[in-house]
Amino acid sequence: MSTLLSLVETTGNTGETVVFWVCAVIAVAGALGMLLSHKAVHSALFIASTMISLAVLYVSQSAPFLGMTQVVVYTGAVMMLFLFVLMIVGVDSSDSLVETIKGQRVAAVVAALAFAGLLVAGIGSATWSVVGLDKANTVDGGNVQGIAHLIFGRYVFAFEATSALLITAALGAMVLAHRERHTPRATQRQMSEERVRSGHAQNLPGPGVYARHNAVGTPAMLPDGTPTDRSVPEPLRGVSAVVGIDSADTASVTALAAGGSVIPTTDEETES
């Protein structure tokens, strides 16, 4: 408790302390959520919240340029790239829960805790004398000017090297993601002939539109009242979030067709 109090103790301005504790909690919660959520899309959204709170922390540490870059580069570009690849690879690609190496999870917990303990112990034994960036941020007229002065001055060769790195990375990604076409592209005539031969010359049924569900994942009903899977787009088939027509719906449709009432009767009503 005393260590917690010493952490909360305010030596400088109170606003920064409040910002730090709010953003630190969001960042750690986002990181934990990323680790613990089974779906990769949820992980991506959690880590996006972590990155945004880190951007706020940068700004509160008098690094406004880096804060903006964090929002633009990480949450804007990198996370969107992650989400696009998740869409291609499949949103339902969740982790397998089988341990391949026996005892790996326990060992990982022990290693992570030991590593965190090592780092925290090292940080705790250090002494801090804060200079602050007020002088460095004003000597060139501002934070952005100061960083520009360093990038295009002392670090200009590293900067040029990063430009080469970015071009190489873009080219490499294009080469890796490029797929060579080995067979000629099917013409429209071939595709239509193929379609007639397949026995389904007509369109696939559209999604089901009902009073309760009209999502694209809702299966359509065939004329005999049975739901069909063919109306659901292939990536959505078998996803647990897709709500099918439950038996109550079909029952009420049948009741309506028979001239009855479709107002649902709950158990409480029948009891009283």
Partner 1 sequence: MNPANYIYLSAVLFSLGAFGVLVRRNAIVVFMCVELMLNASNLAFVSFARIHGNLDGQVIAFFVMVVAAAEVVVGLAIIMTIFRTRRSASVDEANLLKY
Residues 52-111 that bind partner 1 (CB under 8 A): 54, 57-58, 61-63, 65-66, 69-70, 73-74, 77-78, 81-82, 85-86, 88-90, 93-96, 100, 104-105, 107-109, 111
Which residue in 43, 218, 220, 245 binds partner 1 (CB under 8 A)?
Answer: 43
232 binds partner 1 (CB under 8 A): no
For 149-184, give the secondary structure using H, E and C.
HHHCCCCHHHHHHHHHHHHHHHHHHHHHHCCCCCCC
Q: Identify each DSSP E strand in 206-249 by its residue range.
A: 220-221, 227-228
236 binds partner 1 (CB under 8 A): no
Which residue in 22, 87, 166, 251 binds partner 1 (CB under 8 A)?
Answer: 166
Task: List CB contacts of 35: < 8 A, sequence separation 6 or more.
Answer: 43
The footprint of partner 1 on this chain (CB under 8 A) covers a number of residues equal to: 93
d(CA 81, CA 238): 25
Q: Quick one: 54 or 221, whose CB is closer to partner 1?
A: 54
Asked if residue 222 lies in contact with residue 228, where contact means CB atoms within 8 angstroms, the answer is yes
Task: Give the shortest CB-194-to-partner 1 separation in angstroms.
Answer: 23
Binding mask 143-162 for partner 1 (x = CB under 8 A): x--xx--xx---x--xx--x
Helices (H), 37-96: 40-60, 64-69, 79-89
Which residue in 170, 191, 216, 248 binds partner 1 (CB under 8 A)?
Answer: 170
Which three-class secondary structure state does DSSP give residue 77? helix
Window contacting partner 1 (CB under 8 A); options: 38-46, 185-193, 225-233, 251-259: 38-46
44 binds partner 1 (CB under 8 A): yes
245 binds partner 1 (CB under 8 A): no
Q: Using the 8-state DSSP alphabet, how is residue 228 labeled? A: E
Q: Identify each DSSP E strand in the chain by its residue range.
A: 220-221, 227-228
Length of the chain: 272
Q: Quick one: 168 or 226, whose CB is closer to partner 1?
A: 168
Which residue in 51, 220, 232, 245 binds partner 1 (CB under 8 A)?
Answer: 51
d(CA 65, CA 212): 48
47 binds partner 1 (CB under 8 A): yes
2 binds partner 1 (CB under 8 A): no
